[in-house]
Structure formats: structure tokens, C-alpha cells
């Protein structure tokens, strides 16, 4: 066949594909099935492989910018893939270490060893090896459930497919970062905003032949589930990763003392330009695995690691106006609308002013020339005013005393702990009565940590709210899909996807459900504690009877502030209605504790007095790991009162009167050492 004819045929198929793409992506109404589409794509790629002279910008082999697929199989991570907390300066870092020292009850002078690793700005992936064979690769997903992207990961040369080294664990989940080097990104610049997006887009292509054309790289840095591994610190683990055939970061270092961490951070920040890929900070991990295990995890991140982001970039701009943003808890946050400036590659036109006191303290006025700072993914904020540049036209900002959305009066709460008025002013309405708060509450409801409804983002919430499609969270489960199909930007396929995502989330854990209600002061950690304590939705609903709420005080970690907030929540009729309507639509899974068979099963404990060599927090986590329960009141539900140095005499006496067993720390440890 002659070249011209082949080319003509090839272009014809590409033209067809273009039409199908348009139907799918722009009009949301596909004209061929997924299978037919895939066959066509394969035909193009096969032709290109056979006839090297074929090339076209519109070819699927070139256009990784296509929307990533949603059709990967979801797989649960055996151990969740968490994120990391952030620190930005030496003080934050000192606090991080202080918390660790307290948790572990170490001497204040203890030297803690860290593994300091550059934080690569890519996409994390989990690689499961069984008997040395790479069997499955997952994306992070929402942290607890990822997508099966094995085929795409297999195209990455840095990922070994078979490891025969003698000490390679029988089963291990190796985790690391997939990224693209800056020089390779140059060629993809037209299609993606940054290297990170390029890596993510390429990894999530349905067709792995497309992924294979992108020079993705992989650097390994940690592990999830592992069976039989005799390595006891991170630095040795990194060394072994290398021996097993993985790439590790050249700049990983073992470091002791905050002072040296800071020096290393500075050094890397300077070297950043020379490193061939994007790094956005340094990750510090406690080196010793035993200490890591003892420290464990908080809601979303390990207690034993933190990310130290590179310092903020700042720029000079001018305040054009000050507007109020209303959050879901009713907080009024002043935001400066500024003359757009480029800060570290991002155009910034809004900067937070935090609260009313901050505006007064820094004497910030409309028209002022200011310094704005932006660090990592944190909201840009105004640092200072250049008073020399202030003109007569600058205008003082009068903070509104009424809610800009519903007009209710605003209040400042009195903080019982600090005995001071809060700096934050809030709309006094109790929630759904205020339009802006209602929208923010629904955004929270669908957010990643709450219902995590795929494709139901903030924009859609706003849009649907204004179209009167949703006014309350439960409306999400009663959408009129026929109506939505007729809306601009929607079509059969996208509506079907939306419906699917919503249906999927009708089954939800109690802790997520409680968190999603957006009760003030009930974040993920508290929602988890309450869910564990109450165990079922029916018990949670019983809280509407005020007398049950005080029982929550028994939960270690829940105090008067949270109790008051829960009371307020249940006093509000709309909230009760939302709860009732939601319980009709959803199936809320009762709590089944992960480890309900530990040595302390069905036993409750309370701590009083100072313990030796172990902090209260660690003792608590130790008891919970062994299925025991901590309560914070002496009552008839209590089985053991653990007494340390200088216990509260009243507690000890009440326990004695009630015939509760009083034990020492040693006796607790003995209970734990018993093999049943």
C-alpha cells in the first residue's frame, strides 16, 4: 500500500474519533459504546506502531489531555494512604517535636532521629508485591480506597516487576511518588497546567499505551501492609528499597535536632532549582519504627511524620476592596480583593484578613499597599501594610454587625478556656435559615472527608442550590435526574455518572455520617470518638433528648465545648428534620470495631495521676489498640481506675465506694502481657 493511502485512512479514523470525543466530552452524549471507542483507538495506535511515519496531534497517543477515566476498579487499601500535616517554620517544627516528646513521655533532652526526605510534588501510588511479583498497583483515591491502575503503573520503567532479593518481604505494599521530570514536562506544557497534573492525567488514562508514551518516573519512600520484614528504621528501609531495585531520593538524610533539620531545609530550598523535578518541601519521619508504631495515627495523618513546606513566596499588591466570606459555621471572614499578582507561578487576587481584630491590629485599609504571602496550598494572606504608601484616599473598613447573607445579628462567642471574647464574629442564625451558611453546609456534606460524592463538587452545589434543586443535604438523594439532563452542560452520560456516584454513597459509616452533619467542634476525630461510643444511628438520634447528650462527656476527648455545640445542633428543628430525612434515605453502618478481640475486650478504663515513662495519650491509644475503652468519669460503667502519681483523691474515693477495681500502671501492663 502506498504511504499516501495509509495516511488518508489513518486521518479518517482520527477524524471519526474526534467526533466521538466531542460527543462524549463536550455534549455529554456518546454516540458509540466504550468498547467500540476502545477498538478504534487501538486501531490508530496499532497503525502508528506499524507505520512510523504516521503522526497527528489529534491522535490518542498524543492527547493525554483527554479526560481521565472514571472506570477503574476501586480497591480498598489494606492500610489507609494518609496525608501529612504541615509545618512552615522552626516554631511549628519545635511544637511538632514537643508533642512527640510528650506523647512518648521522653526526657525533654532526648535526641530524636529523623529521616528527612525531599517532598516530591507528584502523585502517590501503592505497589503490591507478593512473593516478589508486582501484582497490583493502586492510586491513593480517597485514602481508604484507591483505583486499580496496575496496567498504567507497569509502563513505568522505575517500577520493578519481579524482585528476587532474599530479604524482600513475602508480601509488601511499597509506596512512593509517580512524577514527571521538568524537562519532560516541557513537551506536555500545552496540555497540562503543571508537571503534577501531567503525571496524574497520564496515570489515569484508560489506555495504558497512552501512559507508556509519557516518561513517568517513580521514587519509593514508604510502605503500607507488610508481612515479615526485619527492618527497624526508615533509613535502613530506604537503603533496602535501593537494594531491591527501587529508585530512592538522592537527598534523603538521617538528621538529629531541629537546628539541623532547619539547615537541611534551607540547603534543599537553595538546591531546588537544580533538582530535575518539582519538590515542595521536606518530609520528616521519626526514624525508629518502634517509635512510629507507638505514636500511631490521628484522624488523617501519622503523628510520626510531618511535611515542612518551602517558605512562602510573597508579593506586593494593593487592596481594592474588602468583602466578607461566610463559612459553614457562620464565621464571617474578611477577604481582601487585591490587584492580581503572580506569586510563585499562581495568580492571586484574594487574600484572607482572618478576622476583625486582625484588621484593626494591622490597621489594614482599602486602597493600602500591602505584602501578600502564599505558602504551599494554604490560602494567601496579608502580612503587612506599607504605611509610607498610604494615600488620603485610603478607606477604613467598617466590619458589618449583621450577616451579609441573611441579615441576622452577628455575635462573638465567649471562650471559657481563655476567658476572652473570640476574635471571630459569627452569624447568629442556626444554619439552614441563612442562605450562605446552608450552601456551605451542603458543600461540607459532599466533601471528600464526608460523603465524598464523586463529581459532586462545590460548583455543582452552588448551581443546584440556585436552581432550587437542593436546599438541604437529603435533597441530594431525591434529585430529579430528568430535569438535570436538560440543564446546560449536562447530558445522559454525565447524569448517569452522577446518579451512580450518589447511589454508591447511600451506604455510609456512622463516623462519616456524623462528621458530614457539620456540627461545630465535631471534626473527623471527634466524630470518630462519638461514633465509636454510640455505635448506631439510632443511638445518635436519641441525642435529640437532651438528657442523653451529657453521657457523651464520658468519652475521653469530648468536653463541654463539644457538648454545648451538640446540644445547639439538636435544639434546632431544621437539623432534626434533616437528620430524619437522611435516615430514611441512607443505610448507616453500625460501628464494628476493627480490633474487638483484644485482651481488654469489653473493659473500660479511666486514668488519674501521672504515669511513668508513658504519656496519657499513649496509654489511651495502647488501651484502645487492645480493644479496651477509655471513659472520663467514675461511674458504674467503669471497670478499672488506673492510678499514677498524685491521683485525684475524689476519683479514687468514689471508685472505692462503688467497688471499682483500682489498679496501677504495672498492673495494666501485666494485663496486656497476658497471653490468652
Please report, as residue ranges, which positions from 139 to 178 form the binding site for ligand IVH (by CB under 6 A): 177
The one-character DSSP state at 431 is S
Q: Rounded to the nearest whole angstrom, what is the least distance from the CB of residue 252 to ligand IVH in the complex?
A: 8
Q: 190 or 377: whose CB is closer to ligand IVH? A: 377
Q: According to CB under 6 A, which one of 82, 229, 231, 563 is a site residue for ligand IVH?
A: 82
Binding status of residue 87 toward ligand IVH by CB under 6 A: no
Taking the CA atoms of residue 82, residue 87, residue 92 and residue 95 in that order, the dihedral angle to the nearest 10 degrees is 20
CB atoms within 10 A of CB 546: 11
Q: 80 or 598: whose CB is closer to ligand IVH? A: 80
Cα radius of gyration (the chain)? 28
Q: 252 or 494: whose CB is closer to ligand IVH? A: 252
Q: According to CB under 6 A, which one of 132, 302, 380, 431 is a site residue for ligand IVH?
A: 302
Cα 105 versus chain centre, distance:
29
Question: Is residue 499 annotated as a catalytic residue, yes or no?
Answer: no
**Strand 113-120 versus strand 313-326 pairing type:** unpaired
Between the alpha carbon of residue 637 and those of residues 602, 605, 625, the distances in Å are 10, 9, 20
In SS3 terms, 654-670 reads as HHHHCCCEEEEHHHHHH
Binding status of residue 84 toward ligand IVH by CB under 6 A: yes
The C-alpha atoms of residue 113 and residue 172 are separated, in whole angstroms, by: 25
The C-alpha atoms of residue 79 and residue 144 are separated, in whole angstroms, by: 8
DSSP secondary structure letters along 141-184? TTSSEEEB-HHHHTT-TTS-SB---TTS-SEEEEEEEEEE-HHH
Please report, as residue ranges, which positions from 461 to 480 form the binding site for ligand IVH (by CB under 6 A): none
Taking the CA atoms of residue 103, residue 109, residue 115 and residue 118 in that order, the dihedral angle to the nearest 10 degrees is 100
Binding status of residue 117 toward ligand IVH by CB under 6 A: yes
Binding status of residue 278 toward ligand IVH by CB under 6 A: no
Handedness of CA 142, 143, 146, 149 (dihedral sign): positive
- Total of residues contacting ligand IVH (CB under 6 A): 14
Part in contact with ligand IVH (CB under 6 A); list of ranges 302-310, 406-414, 469-477, 610-618: 302-310
Q: Rounded to the nearest whole angstrom, what is the least distance from the CB of residue 99 to ligand IVH in the complex?
A: 16
Q: According to CB under 6 A, which one of 139, 152, 212, 222 is a site residue for ligand IVH?
A: 222
Q: 120 or 484: whose CB is closer to ligand IVH? A: 120
Q: 219 or 341: whose CB is closer to ligand IVH? A: 219
Grid coordinates of 666: 504495672
Write each residue from 500 to 529 as x if it is in contact with ligand IVH (CB under 6 A), else as -, in one continuous string: ------------------------------
Part in contact with ligand IVH (CB under 6 A); list of ranges 80-88, 363-371, 389-397, 408-416: 80-88
What angle, rounded to 10 degrees, do the helices at 458-466 and 435-446 form?
A: 140
Q: Rounded to the nearest whole angstrom, what is the least distance from the CB of residue 507 to ligand IVH in the complex?
A: 26
Q: 300 or 394: whose CB is closer to ligand IVH? A: 300
Q: Which one of the listed residues 41, 119, 436, 528 is annotated catalytic? A: 119
Q: 173 or 440: whose CB is closer to ligand IVH? A: 173
Binding status of residue 83 toward ligand IVH by CB under 6 A: yes
Part in contact with ligand IVH (CB under 6 A); list of ranges 128-136, 300-308, 519-527, 629-637: 300-308
Binding status of residue 286 toward ligand IVH by CB under 6 A: no
Q: Look at residue 375 and give its three-state secondary structure.
A: coil
Q: 192 or 640: whose CB is closer to ligand IVH? A: 192
The C-alpha atoms of residue 231 and residue 260 are separated, in whole angstroms, by: 25
List, edge to edge, every strand of the sheet that includes 133-139. Answer: 133-139, 123-130, 171-180, 216-227
Q: According to CB under 6 A, which one of 41, 77, 119, 505 is a site residue for ligand IVH?
A: 119
Q: Rounded to the nearest whole angstrom, what is the least distance from the CB of residue 115 to ligand IVH in the complex?
A: 8
Beta partners for residue 284, in sequence order: 116, 306
The C-alpha atoms of residue 233 and residue 126 are separated, in whole angstroms, by: 20
Binding status of residue 204 toward ligand IVH by CB under 6 A: no
Q: 137 or 302: whose CB is closer to ligand IVH? A: 302
Closest CA to 346 of 372, 321, 324: 372
Binding status of residue 283 toward ligand IVH by CB under 6 A: yes
Binding status of residue 120 toward ligand IVH by CB under 6 A: yes
Task: Note the residues at the interface with ligand IVH (CB under 6 A).
Answer: 82-84, 117, 119-120, 124, 177, 221-222, 283, 302, 305, 307
Please list the active-site residues.
119
Amino acid at each position: 500500500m502506498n504511504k499516501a493511502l495509509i495516511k488518508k485512512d489513518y486521518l479518517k479514523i482520527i477524524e471519526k474519533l474526534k467526533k466521538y470525543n466531542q460527543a462524549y466530552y463536550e455534549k455529554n452524549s456518546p454516540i458509540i459504546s466504550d468498547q467500540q471507542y476502545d477498538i478504534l483507538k487501538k486501531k490508530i495506535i496499532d497503525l502508528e506502531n506499524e507505520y512510523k511515519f504516521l503522526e497527528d496531534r489529534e491522535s490518542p497517543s498524543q492527547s493525554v489531555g483527554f479526560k481521565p477515566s472514571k472506570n477503574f476498579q476501586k480497591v480498598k487499601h489494606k492500610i489507609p494512604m494518609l496525608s501529612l500535616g504541615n509545618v512552615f517554620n522552626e516554631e511549628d517544627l519545635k511544637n511538632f517535636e514537643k508533642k512527640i516528646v510528650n506523647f512518648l513521655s521522653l526526657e525533654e533532652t532526648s535526641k530524636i532521629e529523623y529521616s528527612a526526605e525531599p517532598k516530591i510534588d507528584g502523585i502517590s501510588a501503592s505497589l503490591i508485591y507478593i512473593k516478589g511479583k508486582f501484582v497490583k498497583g493502586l492510586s491513593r483515591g480517597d485514602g481508604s480506597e484507591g483505583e486499580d491502575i496496575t496496567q498504567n503503573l507497569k509502563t513505568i520503567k522505575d517500577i520493578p516487576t519481579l524482585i528476587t532479593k532474599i530479604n524482600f518481604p513475602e508480601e509488601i505494599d511499597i509506596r512512593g511518588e509517580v512524577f514527571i521530570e521538568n524537562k519532560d514536562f516541557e513537551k506536555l506544557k500545552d496540555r497540562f497546567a503543571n508537571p503534577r497534573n501531567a503525571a496524574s492525567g497520564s496515570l489515569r488514562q484508560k489506555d495504558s499505551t497512552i501512559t507508556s508514551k509519557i516518561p513517568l518516573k517513580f521514587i519509593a519512600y514508604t510502605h503500607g501492609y507488610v508481612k515479615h520484614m526485619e527492618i527497624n528504621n526508615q533509613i535502613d528501609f530506604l537503603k533496602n528499597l535501593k537494594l531491591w531495585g527501587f529508585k530512592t531520593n538522592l537527598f534523603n538524610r538521617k538528621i538529629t535536632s531541629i537546628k539541623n533539620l532547619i539547615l537541611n531545609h534551607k540547603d534543599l530550598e537553595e538546591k531546588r532549582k537544580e533538582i530535575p523535578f518539582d519538590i515542595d518541601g521536606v518530609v520528616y519521619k521519626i526514624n525508629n519504627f518502634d517509635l512510629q508504631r507507638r505514636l500511631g495515627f490521628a484522624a488523617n495523618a501519622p503523628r510520626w511524620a510531618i511535611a515542612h513546606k518551602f517558605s512562602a513566596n510573597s508579593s506586593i499588591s494593593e487592596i481594592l476592596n474588602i468583602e466578607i466570606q461566610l463559612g459553614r459555621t457562620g464565621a464571617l471572614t474578611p477577604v481582601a480583593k487585591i490587584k492580581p499578582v503572580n506569586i510563585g507561578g499562581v495568580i492571586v487576587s484574594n487574600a484572607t484578613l482572618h478576622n476583625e481584630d486582625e484588621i484593626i491590629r494591622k490597621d489594614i485599609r482599602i486602597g493600602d499597599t500591602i505584602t501578600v504571602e502564599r505558602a504551599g496550598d494554604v490560602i494567601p494572606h496579608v502580612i503587612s501594610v506599607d504605611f509610607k504608601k498610604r494615600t488620603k484616599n485610603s478607606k477604613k473598613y467598617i466590619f458589618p454587625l449583621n450577616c451579609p447573607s441573611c441579615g441576622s445579628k452577628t455575635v462573638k462567642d465567649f471562650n471559657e478556656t481563655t476567658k476572652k471574647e473570640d476574635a471571630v464574629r459569627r452569624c447568629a442564625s442556626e444554619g439552614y435559615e441563612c442562605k450562605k451558611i446552608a450552601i456551605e453546609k451542603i458543600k461540607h456534606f459532599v466533601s471528600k472527608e464526608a460523603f465524598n460524592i464523586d463529581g459532586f463538587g462545590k460548583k455543582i452545589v452552588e448551581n443546584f442550590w440556585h436552581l432550587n434543586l437542593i436546599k438541604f443535604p437529603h435533597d441530594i438523594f431525591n434529585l430529579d435526574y430528568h430535569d438535570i439532563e436538560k440543564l446546560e452542560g449536562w447530558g445522559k452520560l454525565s447524569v448517569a455518572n452522577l446518579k451512580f456516584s450518589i447511589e454508591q454513597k447511600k451506604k455510609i459509616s456512622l463516623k462519616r455520617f456524623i462528621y458530614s452533619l457539620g456540627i461545630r467542634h465535631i471534626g473527623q476525630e471527634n466524630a470518630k470518638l462519638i461514633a465509636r461510643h454510640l455505635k448506631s444511628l439510632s443511638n445518635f438520634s436519641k441525642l435529640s433528648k437532651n438528657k442523653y447528650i451529657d453521657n457523651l462527656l464520658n468519652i475521653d476527648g469530648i468536653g463541654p465545648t463539644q457538648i454545648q455545640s451538640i446540644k445547639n445542633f439538636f435544639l434546632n428543628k431544621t437539623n432534626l428534620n434533616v437528620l430524619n430525612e437522611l435516615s430514611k434515605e441512607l443505610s448507616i453502618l453500625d460501628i464494628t470495631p476493627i480490633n474487638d478481640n483484644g485482651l481488654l475486650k469489653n473493659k473500660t478504663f479511666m486514668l488519674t495521676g501521672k504515669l511513668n515513662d508513658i504519656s496519657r495519650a499513649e496509654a489511651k491509644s495502647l488501651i484502645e489498640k487492645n480493644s479496651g475503652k477509655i471513659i472520663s468519669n467514675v461511674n458504674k460503667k467503669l471497670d478499672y481506675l488506673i492510678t499514677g502519681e498524685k491521683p485525684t483523691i475524689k476519683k479514687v474515693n468514689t471508685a472505692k465506694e462503688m467497688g471499682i477495681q483500682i489498679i496501677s500502671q504495672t498492673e495494666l501492663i501485666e494485663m496486656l502481657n497476658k497471653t490468652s
